Structure formats: C-alpha cells, structure tokens
Amino acid sequence: MELKWIEDFLSLAETRSFSRSAEARHVTQSAFSRRIRSLEVWLGTALLDRSTYPITLTADGRHFLETAEEVVRLLTLSRADFRNRSERSSLPVVTITALHSLCLSFLPRWLGTIRGGLGPMGSRVLPENFNICIQALVEGGYDLLLTYHHPGIPIPLDPERHPCLVVGRDSLAAVAAPAGLVPDREGRLPLLQYSRGSFLGRLAAIAQAREGAPATYPVHTNENSMAEALRSMALAGHGVAWLPRSLVAPEIAAGALAIVSPEMPMEIRLYRSAERARPFLDAVWAAAADAVQDYSDAE
C-alpha cells in the first residue's frame, strides 16, 4: 500500500471526479483510476459507487475517509517535525531528486560549485527514474529536480508551479567498443536498449531516428533502464548504446568507446516547487543560474 493511493482517495472524495482529481494529482486519468482500484484491492472493499454521477462514496468509503484523513494528518505532522529538526541543524540542507546518470556525472561537480559560492551546506539526494523524480518534486518531499530535457519529450510540470533553469548542456551519443562494431549480413550493428517507456529509452529512440544514425538490430534490453548498466555492456563489446556524453566522456577520451553517430543535444534542467520557498533555497536557485556546465559536443 502506498501513501499516494490514500492521497488520491482524499482528492477524489473532495472532487467526486476522476478527471479533475487526476489533473490535480498530475497523473493521467487511467493511472489515477488504477491507483484507486489498487487501494480498493488492498483494503478488500469498494470505496466508490461508480454507477452515479458525480461518483459517491460507499458506506465503507465514508468510513475509510475518516481513517485516511487521520493517517495523512499524522504523517504530515511527522514529516514537518523531521524537516524542522533538519532546518535547526548547524548546516542548511537542500534536498534533490535526480536521474541516476546525472547523480554520477553532473551532480557531484555541480554541488561543489554551489558549495563554493554559498559555503558549507548539507544535501540529501534521491537517485531515481524519471517518473518517481517527478512525483518526489510534485508531492513536496524534495526541493529540486535534476533531469535531462529534449523538445521531443515534454516535461509534465506546470511552469508556474514548477519553474526551471537550464543548468547544463549534454548530448546523447551512440557509443560502442571496437568489439561491438561487428555488423550483421545486412550491415546493421547490435543495439543495447533501455526498457520500453523509460525516459532515456524515449530519448534514445528519438536519437536513433535522426539522420546519420547507424542501422541497428536489438540484442539486449536492460530492464532497469539505468544508463550505467548499458555503459558496462558497451564497454564489454556487446554493441552500441545511446548514452549521455557526460557519463562516457572518460571512456571516449581513452578510446575505449567510439562515437558512431551524430550526437543529439540535450539540456540539463533544474526544477523547483514555487510552494517551497525559503531564503537558503532561493540562494541555491540564484547560484544555480550561474553554474552552467557544458558536456556536449553536438552540432
């Protein structure tokens, strides 16, 4: 059972509309409906009468509403208490959620630059996939979100509620070790893929469709969608992988990996919640605007 299911139910109890609650919770209506159904399955009872419009709560739904409100209230109080303790510590703390690959390639140097400008500070980082990073920012647990951006994949965040800065530039590069550059009878190279629907996988699909990309055929899919795993597969000679240049720059420079296609430019964006305003976070935001890093080598 997940807290977001309870929060979804509370929203639905208020709006009595799946579409309005899904919009307020920043998810698709189908995903929102699945989460409500998951809550009902976990509880073992129907919470909603879906035969009416607007929808109404069942007797069990009305009973659970009181429990749900109390659970969220207590958890919110506990979270506020923990945050207050953190804010009373000797160091100011910034909380960041970021894509796994950015935590390895971009974040360490970027944080060093911010600390160099602002002085000692604490940080708490959640490395995760794209969807969980978005959720962590929207649901209020984290101050900042670091992600890649390309016009082909819109970021599902309201710019007024979640403004952004471009804090870096990178490129997606198709790379392979010499042993991985063995074409098949049709002249195609073996391709190492991300899992279907993953953020970097969608970016790789855009890059692979661009003019100049090599003809490929899939030989391996990495189900956890972590770029670092595909980097290891590419270095071992299993095929071509589309990877952020910042992640493989040392291997490219050393000749362990070769670029086999024109690179696709990407931005590195920093998002924040407009509702989470405090002097120290404002100072980090201002410093971030002057700490742009460029890893790209794309046209």
The matching CATH number, chosen from 3.40.50.1820, 3.40.190.290, 3.40.640.10, 1.20.120.140, for 92-299 is 3.40.190.290
Alpha-carbon span 113 to 126, nearest angstrom: 19
Alpha-carbon span 36 to 42, nearest angstrom: 10
Per-residue DSSP letter, 289: T
Alpha-carbon span 283 to 139, nearest angstrom: 22
pLDDT at position 86 = 55
pLDDT at position 298 = 44
Alpha-carbon span 200 to 281, nearest angstrom: 28
Query: Which residues, at least 6 apart from 146, have a Cβ–Cβ distance to it below 8 Å?
Result: 96, 97, 98, 99, 102, 106, 107, 133, 167, 268, 269, 270
Buried b (16+ CB within 10 A) or exposed e, 27-39: beeeebbebbeeb
pTM > 0.75: yes or no: no
Q: Which residue has the tokens 């699945």?
A: 34
Beta bridge partner(s), residue 122: 93
Alpha-carbon span 189 to 201, nearest angstrom: 18
Render each residue's pLDDT in the chain as its tens digit; 299 residues: 788 888 999 999 999 999 999 988 888 888 899 999 989 988 889 998 888 788 899 999 999 998 988 888 888 777 666 666 655 556 788 899 999 999 988 999 999 999 888 888 888 898 888 888 888 888 767 899 999 999 999 898 888 889 999 999 999 999 999 888 999 999 999 999 998 778 899 999 999 999 999 999 999 888 766 888 999 999 999 999 999 999 999 999 999 999 999 999 999 999 998 888 888 899 999 999 887 877 766 44
Cα 270 vs. chain centroid, distance in angstroms? Answer: 11
The DSSP string of 19-83 is HHHHHHTTS-HHHHHHHHHHHHHHHTS--EETTSSS-EE-HHHHHHHHHHHHHHHHHHHHHHHHH
Nearest one of 4, 62, 75 to 38, comparing CA atoms: 4
pLDDT at position 275 = 82
User: In the chain, what are the domain boundaries?
Assistant: 3-86, 92-299
pLDDT at position 299 = 42
Beta bridge partner(s), residue 57: 48
Alpha-carbon span 204 to 234, nearest angstrom: 15
The matching CATH number, chosen from 1.10.10.10, 3.40.190.10, 3.30.465.10, 3.30.390.50, for 3-86 is 1.10.10.10
Nearest one of 2, 76, 71 to 36, comparing CA atoms: 2
> Strands (DSSP E) along the chain, which ranges?
48-49, 56-57, 93-99, 122-128, 144-149, 164-176, 189-194, 216-222, 240-244, 258-259, 264-272, 293-294
pLDDT at position 276 = 81
